[in-house]
Amino acid sequence: MNAAHLKILQQGVDAWNRWRAENPYVVPVLADADLCGADLEGFDLRQANLKRANLAQACLYEALLDQVDFRQASLREADLSSAQIIGAQLRQADLTQAALGNSTLISVEGSGVILTQTLLSQAQLTDCDFAKATGAAINAEQAVLTRVNWQRCEFPCGNFVNSQLQGTIFAQASLEESDWTGAIAQDCDFTGASLAASQWDGAQLVQVRWQHCNLNHAQLRALDLSHVDCLGADFSEAQLCHSQWGGAQLVQVCFNRADLTLAQLAGINGTESEFQGAFLNQADLAGANLQNANLHRAYVMLGANLSRVNLQGANLSQCRFLGANLQHSQCQRAHLQDSVWEDVQLQGSLFSENSGLTRRLRRKLHQQGAIFLD
């Protein structure tokens, strides 16, 4: 720390900014300075060295913070609202409960930064790197996040309501119980992220990658997921009523005990996917490929449409088909043990080499229009 620089800083904003204007090539050295609670509103701190400085509860409202070195600094409860931060270093800084509402962050390097209960509402972040950031209950409501790297971040209970995301990365992030209500995400990568119990009501998702994501118990009602890559994702016990999938690639996806009532799944590729105990009541799966899928104990009732579905090799044991349409479906080699078929339309559907098929069940399926090739 340069004691002379600190003394000028303590003289106030006018003296400091005048000194900066008169000495444009001098880099302020305030590393390790104790500025706890300091009023730095409007200060020109561009390129200053504030590494490891104590800025807890400091006021930096509308301060100029371009290329400031905040590495390992404490900014707990600091006010950085409406600040302009371009090219700054925030690596391993502590911004717990700091206020950055309406701030602008561009090309900020902040890997490992602590953002517990940090306020980023209406902030604009562009080309920033916050990989491995941590902090429960971050508030990024209405924030605009463009090409921000949040890879491996830990933000349980994060608030991203009505945020706008473009080209942002959340790969392998921990985002349990986060709220994305009304968010707009385009070309974003959540590969391998944990989004268990997250909320997505009214969100718009375009070219989003949810590959191998954990979405257990997620609230995804009425979402258009036709432009989301869900390869290997886990939607166990998720709420997916009225969701729209538009021929999506759902290979090896897990929907165990998920509620897919009235879901639009026509034409999907659900090869080797898991639907154990899933609710598919009134769902539309017309023309879907469910080859080798597992529908053990699934509920396919109340007018569910599975016409022209490929169920070859699928596990249909203890599955309940009540009032469903399976016309012209392919059920060869499907496992049928203890499955229930009541008031099912099976005209033109094909069966052969079915394990678990009793004489009684064969007769019943035949009476409903099934065609047996063996």
Question: What pLDDT is recorded for position 76?
Answer: 98
pLDDT at 300 over 90: yes
Q: What is the pLDDT of residues 39-55, one digit of tens each?
A: 999 999 999 999 999 99
Judged against a pLDDT cut of 90, whether residue 316 lies above it is answered with: yes
Classify residue 355 by burial, with Cβ atoms within 10 Å: 0-12, 13-18, 19+.
Answer: exposed
Note the Cα 281 to chain centre separation in Å.
27
pLDDT at 155 over 90: yes
Residue 175 pLDDT class (50, 70, 90 cuts)? very high
Indicate if the pLDDT at residue 248 is higher than 90: no
When pLDDT is averaged across residues 271-277 and rounded to a whole number, the result is 98
User: What structural domains and CATH numbers belong to the chain?
Assistant: 1-131 (2.160.20.80)
User: Which band of pLDDT confidence, cut at 50, 70 and 90, is reported for residue 290?
Assistant: very high
pTM of the full predicted structure? 0.93
Q: What is the pLDDT of residue 170?
A: 98
Taken in order 277, 252, 317, 241, is the CA torsion positive or negative? positive
Instruction: Write the DSSP symbol of residue 184.
Output: E
> What is the mean pLDDT of the segment spanning 213-227?
97
* Cβ burial, residue 302 (10 Å; 0-12/13-18/19+): middle
Residue 197: how many other CB atoms lie within 10 Å: 19
Could you report the per-residue pLDDT of 107-129, keeping only the tens digit for each? 999 999 999 999 999 999 999 99
Q: What is the pLDDT of residues 254-272, one digit of tens each?
A: 999 999 999 999 999 999 9
Handedness of CA 141, 58, 105, 153 (dihedral sign): negative
Q: Quickly state the pLDDT bin for 1 (edges 50, 70, 90).
A: confident
CA distances from 104 to 124, 125, 222, 287 (A): 5, 6, 33, 48
